[in-house]
Structure 1
Amino acid sequence: MQENYQKITEESGVMSFELELNAPRPKVWELIATTKGFAQWFPELSVGESGVDGMILFDFGNGEYEEMTITIYDPKSVLEYTWDKNVVRFELIEKEATTVLRFTEEITELTTHTPRDIAGWYMCLQKIQGILEDKDVSFTEEEFLALFDKYQAVMN
């Protein structure tokens, strides 16, 4: 997986990941843009309503939900939605028999929690790849903390 952090200001930047998936674009879209797909790699997320101005819901597990507005919805190609004060984007590019998944998070306000989110996205992308390759992908707390430390260093 390729990754890049582009610092814009001391408080903002863009984190991107790109990986080539051994699956057709419609199958990848199903994973990243439907409640059924989310359940496999990020069960706290669900689709409230598809389409631009629709909602992705984040379930806090206590009966409360955060609504995240879908800002771009181009079926089987681009899904972009708000993520707190930031914006996350999944872009799918067909490449022969594979699909390139480009994930970006536009970070408008760097917080102490931001590296945790980025470490989480890294793990989610690995899980997506594992699902498509029929491999079990899991992370220990130690692995997560190592990723958190890594992204904390990258963003400072």
Structure 2
Amino acid sequence: MLANIAKSDEHYVARFERQLKHSATEIWSFLTENEKLALWFAELRIEDLREGGLIKFDMQNGTFEEMTITELQLHSVIEFTWAEDSVRFELYPNSEGCLLVLNETIQTLTPHTPQDLAGWHVCLDVIQHLLDGTTLESRDAEWRIWYEQYREALSKLG
């Protein structure tokens, strides 16, 4: 299912939801432990897990972008800067396991936005597969499918 993309007064919010059959603690480990984080987003590394702490994004050219953790509630919320935007993961335990919500607040839509949204979409699918002990056949093929759908969805937003 595509993320819900909504325009507010001064920005856009893309909201992804995944109902997972796993505990918040299990899911949290994939969001905050570098060994597990690397399995679904190899370029990210948490340097200091605390509010005001640091996450580094490896640009794959010898440089790193630094992102600040703006909110942290253990096993519940991690939010961090992403250039001029922000990324927020929220966990909601329920009778079926846990609802994982990812909100990306986007200041300006660009031609790169559908690429990013497709990337987050596939990352969440990979997390689910990792937790379930299954494999996603081709991340690239999945990304291409979702990229076209996000490109189309964003074109309708204007």
Whether TM exceeds 0.5 here: the answer is yes
Q: Partner amino acid for 1:36?
A: E
Secondary structure in structure 1 of the residue aligned to 2:35: helix
Unaligned runs of 5+ in 1: none
Structure 1 segments, 4+ long, off by >6 Å, are none
Alignment of 1:110-149 (within 5 A): 110-139=109-138, 141-149=140-148
Alignment of 1:18-37 (within 5 A): 18-37=17-36
Q: 117-126 or 136-145, which moves further after superposition?
A: 136-145
- Is the aligned partner of 1:7 residue 2:12? no
Q: Tell me, in whole angstroms, the C-alpha distance in 2 between the residues paired with 1:29 and 1:107.
A: 24
Secondary structure in structure 1 of the residue aligned to 2:3: strand
Q: Partner amino acid for 2:135?
A: D
* Identity %, equivalent residues: 35
Secondary structure in structure 2 of the residue aligned to 1:63: coil
Unaligned runs of 5+ in 2: none
- Is the aligned partner of 1:89 residue 2:88? yes
* TM-score between the two structures when normalised by the length of structure 1: 0.92
Residue correspondences, number: 155
> Cα offset for 1:145?
2.5
Q: Partner amino acid for 2:147?
A: F
Q: Partner amino acid for 2:70?
A: T
Q: Tell me, in whole angstroms, the C-alpha distance in 2 between the residues paired with 1:99 and 1:127.
A: 16
Q: Tell me, in whole angstroms, the C-alpha distance in 2 between the residues paired with 1:108 and 1:65.
A: 22
Q: Tell me, in whole angstroms, the C-alpha distance in 1 between the residues paired with 2:32 and 2:113.
A: 23
> Cα offset for 1:91?
0.1
Q: Tell me, in whole angstroms, the C-alpha distance in 1 between the residues paired with 2:124 and 2:105.
A: 17
> Cα offset for 1:75?
0.7
> Cα offset for 1:142?
4.3
> Cα offset for 1:153?
1.6
Say if 1:123 and 1:139, in contact at 8 Å, map to a contact too: no
Q: What's the CA shift string for 1:1-32, capped at 9, x where partnerless?
A: 563111236x8311111111111111100001
